[in-house]
């Protein structure tokens, strides 16, 4: 009876050590490159010698347990980890199908994974006024709001400004603006970031023909009554982020442009970002078509007047991904808070808004951008990919259709099956 019990114990010990040996083989470290595929380990035979000398046993059990038992183990072959985009040419073809093939002039795309740019793509159609490449800067429109929000939150981390601090009154006094609605004085930093300030969108002032400069626009918009009580409802408004730009200047004593570069862009090494005017195009910029008598870029400023490459846009979003090994300039708490809905109720059944970020129920978070002849989208996907798509042109018709285009492109790249239809005409 003692011998039988001892045999059971011996086998249990043997089984445990064999399992441990197999586990070490299965978790052998793979390549550190996000795009590399680790080679399958060749099955090898490992001899594990189990010596039980020293176990507290008596009688016949001692004889049985003191025997050295050789055990041969053949570990399971390690399965290769799939590349994030094993068929990048199909990824590019799908993006082109939704943009260039549909009628747009130019497109540029970048994909970041595990802190690195793993893929980029740029192309032009025959309609293009200047062929683009991966180093071409595009107008990113309201994706600019991520950059402004990140700058504000750096100041929050530094203790120079508070999220719940009433700020609009201070800004108005600092730049000599008169507030028609006394409630506006108590609009907080967080309410501006989340578009819950109660300030209307004033799309006609921003985007219809006219000659407003930024101060003229602010005088006109803040000279009107708020549409809702501050904090009570979501109302997307570019004025919110223009005011945040003024708050950054007030707190830092720097121009908005210089503060953003010192606090965010320079530390992150994002050197393609530039603020531009409506008719300003540098030698490395995509040539966006602009109609006459427009001043929307001058008015937008912190809300939407930046240009950048797709790679830098994707890296900017990745900088607020706490799970990425990239450099982070925000505290973990604030990076998390950006992704928490900050509206009294969901904006739509499909997406909500945090602090400078759109939050999609399908798991993506990021921002879109739309101005004259511009569509842009940057999202962090649940699978860890960060994808930026910048389009010069009118297709797809709706900017949010770029999420469907991204999904199609990733699916094609992973399955090896080419996308064949566009999301929208």
Q: What is the percent of the chain with per-residue pLDDT over 70, rounded to a whole number? A: 80
C-alpha span between 305 and 245 (Å, rounded): 12
**Per the domain annotation, does 75 fall within a domain?**
yes
Write down the residue that tokens 């450099």 correspond to. 327
In whole angstroms, what is the distance from residue 35 CA to residue 25 CA? 22
In a domain, 425, yes or no: no
pLDDT score, position 72: 42
For residue 20, pLDDT beyond 50: no
* CA nearest neighbour of 137 among 311, 300, 11, 12: 311
Question: Residues 262, 329: contact at Cβ < 8 Å?
Answer: no
Least reliable range by pLDDT among 100-114, 119-133, 198-212, 238-252: 198-212
Element (H, E) at 404: helix 401-415
Q: CB within 8 A of 270, min separation 6: which ones?
A: 264, 308, 312, 315, 316
Whether 257 and 402 share a structural domain: yes
- Reported as a single tens digit per residue, the pLDDT across 196-225 is 999 999 999 999 867 789 999 999 999 999
pLDDT at 208: 85
- Are 5 and 151 within one domain? no
**Residue 18 is assigned to a structural domain of this protein:** no
What's the confidence (pLDDT) of residue 102? 96
Whether residue 248 is found in the same domain as residue 396: yes
SS (HEC) of 214-246: HHHHHHHHCCCCCCCCCCCCCCCCHHHHHHHHH
Domain count, the chain: 2
Asked, for residue 422, whether it belongs to a domain, the answer is no
CATH number of the domain encompassing residue 149: 3.40.710.10
How wide is the angle at C-alpha 189 spanned by C-alphas 362 and 368, nearest 5°?
A: 35
Q: Which domain holds residue 313?
A: 88-415
Rounded to whole angstroms, how far apart are CA atoms 322 and 335?
7
Q: Assess whether pLDDT exceeds 50 at residue 79.
A: no
Domain stops at, among 81, 100, 120:
81
d(CA 388, CA 93): 16
DSSP states of 126-188? TT-SS---TT-BEE-GGGHHHHHHHHHHHHHHTTSS-TTSB-HHHHHHHHTPPPSSGGGGG-B
**Stretch 119-146: mean pLDDT:** 98
Shared-domain flag, residues 54 and 92: no
pLDDT tens digits, one per residue of 295-343: 999 999 999 999 999 999 999 999 999 999 999 999 999 999 999 999 9
Give the pLDDT of residue 425: 54
Residues 67 and 107 in one domain: no
Final residue of a structural domain among 65, 81, 97: 81
Q: Does residue 19 lie within any of the structural domains?
A: no
Residues 258, 252: Cα–Cα separation, whole Å: 10
Residues 339 and 405 in one domain: yes
Q: Which of 81, 113, 141 is a domain's end point?
A: 81
Angle at 146 (CA atoms; ends 364, 238), nearest 5 degrees: 110
* 326 and 378 fall within a common domain: yes
Strand ranges in 39-152 using DSSP code E only, listed in sequence order: 46-50, 69-73, 106-113, 116-124, 138-139
**Residue 68, CA distances (Å) to 14, 15, 75 in order:** 11, 15, 22
Give, in degrees to the nearest 5, the angle at Cα 191 between 273 and 204: 65
**Mean pLDDT taken over the chain:** 85
Element holding 205 (H helix, E strand) = helix 203-207
Q: Which residues contact 198 (CB under 8 A, 6 or more apart)?
A: 183, 184, 187, 191, 226, 227, 228, 229, 230, 231, 232, 233, 235
Q: Is there a single domain that holds both residue 53 and residue 150?
A: no
Q: Are 55 and 130 in a shared domain?
A: no
CA distance 75 to 19: 9
Please give the pLDDT value at position 212.
85
Average pLDDT rounded to a whole number, residues 377-389: 98
- Kindly report, residue by residue over 264-290, the tens digit of the pLDDT: 999 999 999 999 999 999 999 999 999
What percent of the chain shows pLDDT beyond 90? 77
> In the prediction, which pLDDT does 410 show?
98
Summarize the confidence of residues 405-424 as an average pLDDT: 90
pLDDT in tens, 157-173: 999 999 999 999 999 99
């Amino acid at each position: 009876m003692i011998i039988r019990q001892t045999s059971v114990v011996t086998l249990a010990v043997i089984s445990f050590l064999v399992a441990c040996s197999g586990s070490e083989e299965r978790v052998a470290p793979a390549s550190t490159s996000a795009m590399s595929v680790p080679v399958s380990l060749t099955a090898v035979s490992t001899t594990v010698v189990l010596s039980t000398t020293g176990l507290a046993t008596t009688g016949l059990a001692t004889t049985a347990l003191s025997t050295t038992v050789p055990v041969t183990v053949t570990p399971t072959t390690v399965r290769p980890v799939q590349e994030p985009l094993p068929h990048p040419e199909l990824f590019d073809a799908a993006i082109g199908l939704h943009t260039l093939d549909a009628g747009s002039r130019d497109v540029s795309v970048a994909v970041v994974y595990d802190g690195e740019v793993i893929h980029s793509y740029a192309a032009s159609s025959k309609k293009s006024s200047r062929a683009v490449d991966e180093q071409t800067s595009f107008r990113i429109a309201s994706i600019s709001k991520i950059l402004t929000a990140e700058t504000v939150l750096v100041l929050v981390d530094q203790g120079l400004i508070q999220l719940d601090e009433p700020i609009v009154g201070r800004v108005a006094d600092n730049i000599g603006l008169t507030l028609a609605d006394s409630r506006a004085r108590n609009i907080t930093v967080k309410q501006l970031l989340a578009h819950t300030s109660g300030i209307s969108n004033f799309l006609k002032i921003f985007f219809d023909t006219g000659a407003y400069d930024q101060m003229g626009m602010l005088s006109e918009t803040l000279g009107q009554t708020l549409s809702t009580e501050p904090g009570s409802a979501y109302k997307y408004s570019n004025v919110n982020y223009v005011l945040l730009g003024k708050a950054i200047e007030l707190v830092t004593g720097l121009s908005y442009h210089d503060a953003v570069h010192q606090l965010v862009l320079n530390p992150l090494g994002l050197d393609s970002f530039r603020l531009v005017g409506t008719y300003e195009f540098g030698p490395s910029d995509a040539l966006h078509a602009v109609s006459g008598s427009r001043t929307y870029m001058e008015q937008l400023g912190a809300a939407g007047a930046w240009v950048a490459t797709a790679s830098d846009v994707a890296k900017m979003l990745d900088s607020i991904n706490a799970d990425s090994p990239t450099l982070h300039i925000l505290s973990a708490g604030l990076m998390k808070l950006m992704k928490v809905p900050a509206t009294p109720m969901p904006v739509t059944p499909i997406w909500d808004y945090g602090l400078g970020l759109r939050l999609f129920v399908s798991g993506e978070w990021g921002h879109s951008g739309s101005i004259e002849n511009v569509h842009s989208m940057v999202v962090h996907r649940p699978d860890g990919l960060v994808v930026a798509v910048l389009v010069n042109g009118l297709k797809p018709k709706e900017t949010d259709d770029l999420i469907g285009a991204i999904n199609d492109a990733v699916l094609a790249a992973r399955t090896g099956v080419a996308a064949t239809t566009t999301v929208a005409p």
